[in-house]
Chains A and B, each alone.
Chain A
Amino acid sequence: MTVTADRTTAPRTLTLDALGRLESEAIHIMREVAGEFDRPVILFSGGKDSTVLLHLAVKAFWPAPVPFPLLHVDTGHNFDEVIEFRDRVVARYGLRLVVARVQDWIDDGRLAERPDGTRNPLQTVPLLDTIGEHRFDAVFGGGRRDEERARAKERIFSLRNAFGQWEPRRQRPELWNLYNGRHRPGEHVRVFPLSNWTELDVWRYIAREDIELPSIYYAHEREVYLRDGMWLTAGPWGGPREGETVERRTVRYRTVGDGSCTGAVASTASTLDEVIAEVGASRLTERGATRADDRLSEAAMEDRKREGYF
C-alpha cells in the first residue's frame, strides 16, 4: 500500500500515510459491498475518478478478479480518446461492461433532447432504468464530498428509494466505519468509496500507483472556442455559434463528461507532476472550472441528485 512495494524483496511492514488511509478506507468499503449485496455494479465512464475506483476494486479483491460488472451511461457526446481508453481497460481486466446509451432513450421517445443540446442531465433516466432492469442493488460512484456542497452532505452508503431518489432529510446516520446496507426490494444503495478524497488526493494517488488515464487529462493542442469562460470542443454535439471563433490552444481537461458542456482549461501541464502542481495552485474548483451544467442554478447539483443522478 505504499509506493515502495516490491514483490521481489522480503516482506515489509506496512505504515499508513494519508493516501494509504484513504486507500484502505475505500478498499474496506468495497469489500463490505461485496459481502452484503447481491448485484453491485461500478459506474465507469473512463474518467479519472471512475478509473481510480476500478483500480481500488482490483486491489481489494486481488488475486481474484473484480466481482462486479461495470456500467457506463453514455451520453453519445464522447471524446474518442476516452471511449478507446474505456474499452481497453475493460478488456485488460476481463470485466463485463453494460452500456446504457442516452441516444436509445431519445430514439424511442422516452427522453427528449434539450434545447441547449446538453445531455448530462438526461443521464438520470437511463441510469435508473438500467439499475432497475439489471436489478443492481449497490451502485458504486466516484463522487467526492469536496466537489460540491450538496455532495458534501452525502453519506458513503446512500439509500435511494424505489424511484431512485435521494432524500437528504431522511439520510441514515453513518457511524464509525459500520455501514448499513439494508434496503427493501426495489431500493438501491449508492456507494461512494472516494467520499473523503479531494481532487488533489486523487491526482497524488494516480501518480503513486502509476494509473493510466485518457490522454485528454494532460495538456495537448486542440481546436477550441470560448463559451461562458470555458474552452469547448466542436463535435457531433454541435460547434461554435455565431460570434464564437475556433482557435488552436494548449489545453487539458480536469473532468470528463458530456462533450457539449465539459470545458477544457488552458494548461501546459503535460505530466502527472505538472498536473499535481497545477491542481494544487488552482483557484477554481474542478466543477466550477469545467462544468457548465453545474452553473445552471444555486442548487443544480442538489436537484439532479434528488432525482437520482450520480
Chain B
Amino acid sequence: MGDLLRLATAGSVDDGKSTLVGRLLYDTKSVLADQLDAVHRASVDKGLSTPDLSLLVDGLRSEREQGITIDVAYRYFATPRRTFVLADTPGHVQYTRNTVTGASTAQLAILLVDARKGVVEQTRRHAAVLALLGVPRLVLAVNKIDLTEYDQGTFEVIAKEFATYAAALGYTSDTVRTIPVSALVGDNVVDVSDRTPWYTGPTLLEHLETVPVEPDPHEAPFRFPVQYVIRPRTPEHPDYRGYAGQVAAGTVRLGEEVVVLPGGSRTRVARIDTRDGELAEAVAGASVTLLLEHEIDISRGDLLAAADDPPVLTDELDATLAWLADKPLRPGARVLVKHGARTVPAIVGELRTRFDEQKLSTTEYPESLALNEIGQVSVRTAEPVPVDEYRTHGRTGAFLVIDPGDGTTLAAGLVGAPLPVLGTS
C-alpha cells in the first residue's frame, strides 16, 4: 500500500462527473462484480445499449430518477501506487455547499468542463471555492472531447482561459494540470488515447498517482484542542488526569512547554499516553492523551499550544464565510461558532465585502450573504477564542457557524482573508 490522496470532484451538472468517477472506478477494477451486474441490469431496464457508469455512483433514488448527483458521495479505490479517498460532489448551483464539504479536506480537486461549453459560471464558482478552502492542487478535466472531434484548438482555448482564472485565484502553474478526456469512451482517464496525439501529458490516473501530496503540518507550531478529560478514578489509576485530543498541528514532545488557552497558564508535557504505551512525541493527526506537570483547571474546549508560538486570543474575528444556508446572513445575526472542541455564542457584526467569483471582484458592505455566497465579515464571540490564520493553519483557522435554534450548519468559517486581494466593483 502506497500513500493516500484525498481528492474531490467538482463541475456543473451534466458535464459528466458521475461518468468520470464511474470510469475511474471501472478502469481501476475497483468495481466488484455484483455492483457491476446491478448497473448492467439497471442500464438495460432504462433501454441503454452501453452500461451507464454514472449509476455506480448516484446512490440515492432521487438522483437516479433525475439523473443528477445531489449529495457528496465518498469512494475508496486503490492502485498499487496509492490509495484514494474521493469525495464526489454535485454540480447543481443549489448544492454548491456540498462542494465546500468535499473540498474542506481535499488535497486535490478535479474540476470538469464540457469541451463544447468550456469554462462556465459554475467552473469559476467552484474554482473560487476550492481556492478559498486552500485545496492545494487542481486538475481541469476537459471532458466529452469525443464530441469536439478531439480538436486540439478547442482544448487549448479552454486550458488557456482556465489558467488565467486559476492564476488570479493564486494557483501557480505547477499546481494546475489540464487534461483532455472522454469519460464515456475512456480517453486519457486510465488509458492513453491514440485519438489525442497532440496531448503528451499524463492520463488522469497517472497524474493522480504521481502528483506530490502535501505533507502533514508536522513542522507547524503545536496545537491541541482538548476534547475530553480522562479521569478513571479506579483503584489502579486513582489520580490519573489526562487530556484527550488529536494533534491539530505540529509535533508535541515530552517536557515541552505549553500554554493553556484561553486561561493563559503555562506548564510542561509530563507524559504522552496511548493504550499501546507511552510516546516520546506525537505528530499532527495523532489522537493521544497528554498529562501535564502542574494541576491546572483544564476542560473540554481549551487549547494547548506551543508556549513560544501561541495563536492569537481574541473575541473580534476577521473572517471569511462561505454561506451554506437557504436563509441569508444579515448583519447582527446571532449564531454559534464551533472552533476546535469549543462552541461559543457569537454575533456577526459587519458584512464587509461580498466576493463576486464571476468578475473576480468584491462588493463592499453588502446587505446580505445569500446561499453559496462568500464574503468577509467581522464576528464578535462571547468569550475569547485562540485562533490562527486559515491560510497558514488550516485546522485551527477553521470554524463552523451554527444556527442556535435548529442546530443547522450555516457557514464554513475561515479566519482571515484566504482569497487573494481583489479589486472592488
- Closest beta carbon of chain A to B275's beta carbon, Å: 4
Q: Knowing A28-B287, A35-B227, say if A171 contacts B76 (CB, 8 Å).
A: no
- How many Cβ-Cβ contacts under 8 Å join chain A to chain B? 204
- Closest beta carbon of chain B to A54's beta carbon, Å: 13
The answer to whether A1 and B408 have CB atoms under 8 Å apart is: no
* CB of B72 within 8 Å of the partner chain: yes
The answer to whether B285 and A283 have CB atoms under 8 Å apart is: no
**In the complex, given contacts A1-B287, A16-B286, A64-B232, what are 10 additional A-B residue pairs having Cβ atoms less than 8 angstroms apart?**
A5-B277, A18-B83, A62-B230, A150-B60, A153-B72, A159-B407, A173-B97, A173-B100, A195-B74, A298-B38
Which residues from A are CB-within-8-Å of B232? 63-65
CB-contact partner of A60 in B98, B280, B287, B338, under 8 A: B287
CB-contact partner of B104 in A59, A172, A176, under 8 A: A176
Residue of B nearest to A299 (CB): B61
Pairs of residues from A and B, 5 with the lowest C-beta to C-beta distance, nearest first? A182-B407, A5-B276, A288-B34, A149-B59, A11-B280
Can you list 21 contacts pairing A with B, beta carbon distance less than 8 Å?
A: A2-B276, A7-B277, A14-B282, A14-B286, A14-B288, A16-B216, A18-B4, A18-B83, A27-B287, A35-B228, A62-B230, A64-B231, A145-B74, A149-B57, A168-B60, A168-B62, A173-B97, A182-B336, A284-B33, A298-B42, A298-B61
The answer to whether B285 and A12 have CB atoms under 8 Å apart is: no
Which residues from A are CB-within-8-Å of B237? 63-64
* CB of A92 within 8 Å of the partner chain: no
CB-contact partner of B76 in A145, A176, A283, under 8 A: A145
* CB of A246 within 8 Å of the partner chain: no
Residue of A nearest to B74 (CB): A145
The answer to whether A180 and B283 have CB atoms under 8 Å apart is: no
The answer to whether B407 and A302 have CB atoms under 8 Å apart is: no
- Closest beta carbon of chain B to A60's beta carbon, Å: 7
Which residues from B are CB-within-8-Å of A302? 59-61
- Closest beta carbon of chain A to B289's beta carbon, Å: 8
- Closest beta carbon of chain A to B366's beta carbon, Å: 22
The answer to whether B399 and A178 have CB atoms under 8 Å apart is: yes
Residue of A nearest to B403 (CB): A182
* CB of A285 within 8 Å of the partner chain: yes
- Closest beta carbon of chain A to B216's beta carbon, Å: 8
CB-contact partner of B73 in A152, A183, A184, A284, under 8 A: A152
Which residues from A are CB-within-8-Å of B233? 64
Q: CA of A61 to CA of B289 in the docked complex: distance in angstroms?
A: 9
Q: CA of A302 to CA of B232 in the docked complex: distance in angstroms?
A: 41
Q: Number of contacting residues on B, CB 8 A?
A: 80
- A residues 197-221 with Cβ under 8 Å of B? 198
Q: Knowing A28-B246, A152-B59, A168-B71, say if A1 contacts B76 (CB, 8 Å).
A: no
Q: Knowing A176-B104, A184-B406, say if A61 contacts B279 (CB, 8 Å).
A: no
- Closest beta carbon of chain B to A280's beta carbon, Å: 10
**Which of B35, B60, B412: most chain A Cβ within 10 A?**
B60
The answer to whether B400 and A12 have CB atoms under 8 Å apart is: no
Q: CA of A173 to CA of B231 in the docked complex: distance in angstroms?
A: 33
Q: CA of A183 to CA of B246 in the docked complex: distance in angstroms?
A: 24
The answer to whether A11 and B279 have CB atoms under 8 Å apart is: yes
Which residues from A are CB-within-8-Å of B32? 282-285, 288
The answer to whether A60 and B244 have CB atoms under 8 Å apart is: yes
The answer to whether B35 and A285 have CB atoms under 8 Å apart is: yes
The answer to whether A183 and B407 have CB atoms under 8 Å apart is: yes
Q: Knowing A152-B75, A172-B409, A196-B85, say if A24 contacts B287 (CB, 8 Å).
A: yes
Which residues from B are CB-within-8-Å of A146? 76
The answer to whether A180 and B230 have CB atoms under 8 Å apart is: no
Q: Knowing A169-B70, A284-B33, A298-B42, say if A175 contacts B283 (CB, 8 Å).
A: no
- A residues 137-162 with Cβ under 8 Å of B? 145-146, 148-153, 159
The answer to whether A175 and B281 have CB atoms under 8 Å apart is: no
Q: Knowing A34-B228, A60-B244, A152-B73, say if A14 contacts B279 (CB, 8 Å).
A: yes
* CB of A269 within 8 Å of the partner chain: no
Which residues from B are CB-within-8-Å of A23? 287
Q: Per-position contact with A for B330-356: 1 when CB-CB < 8 Å, else 0? A: 000000101101000000000000000
The answer to whether A13 and B71 have CB atoms under 8 Å apart is: no
Residue of A nearest to B59 (CB): A149
* CB of B27 within 8 Å of the partner chain: no
Residue of B nearest to A61 (CB): B230
Which residues from A are CB-within-8-Å of B365? none
The answer to whether A15 and B283 have CB atoms under 8 Å apart is: yes
* CB of B50 within 8 Å of the partner chain: no
The answer to whether B412 and A11 have CB atoms under 8 Å apart is: no
Q: CA of A60 to CA of B3 in the docked complex: distance in angstroms?
A: 25
Q: CA of A27 to CA of B246 in the docked complex: distance in angstroms?
A: 9
